[in-house]
Amino acid sequence: MADPKYITYAGNEVAGTIVIDTRKMSLLLVLGDRALLYPIGVGREGFAWHGVEQVSRKAKWPSWTPPADMLKRRPDLPVSMPGGSDNPLGSRAIYLGQSLYRIHGTNEPETIGTTSSSGCFRMLNSHVNDLYDRVRIGAKVVVM
């Protein structure tokens, strides 16, 4: 997949805001009158959501603990997994408020551009690394 690209931004959000369009499977980082556009994977049917959150935390090579509901659906999953290349959160995670949702990398790059997650937003590891370096804790995240 291509590098994120700069586009013209004519919306109302301030610089530093992340805008996620689940229908277009895209994430914008607003930079003023321009934005960086990244392709993403989104929640599958029954797991998509909309709303406003804030970046509450960021982590490099995050560990992963599947939520209880996910473990009920997928008892084959590990109870937890350390960070690393096999971890489904990939190289970076950007946590959204107090929710279980994150913007994160992936160990399954073929899922970018699909509805395959349990509500998180998947990015290529190179893309989430770039976003991670640009976004600050407290940044507004709009999911539509």
Catalytic residues: 104, 120
Rounded Cα gap, residues 83 and 62, in angstroms: 5
56-59 long-range contacts (CB < 8 A, ≥24 apart) are: 56/95, 56/96, 56/97, 56/98, 56/137, 57/94, 57/95, 57/137, 58/92, 58/93, 58/94, 58/95, 58/132, 58/135, 58/137, 59/83, 59/92, 59/93, 59/95
**Looking at residue 86, what DSSP letter applies?**
T
Structure tokens at 88: 């489904």
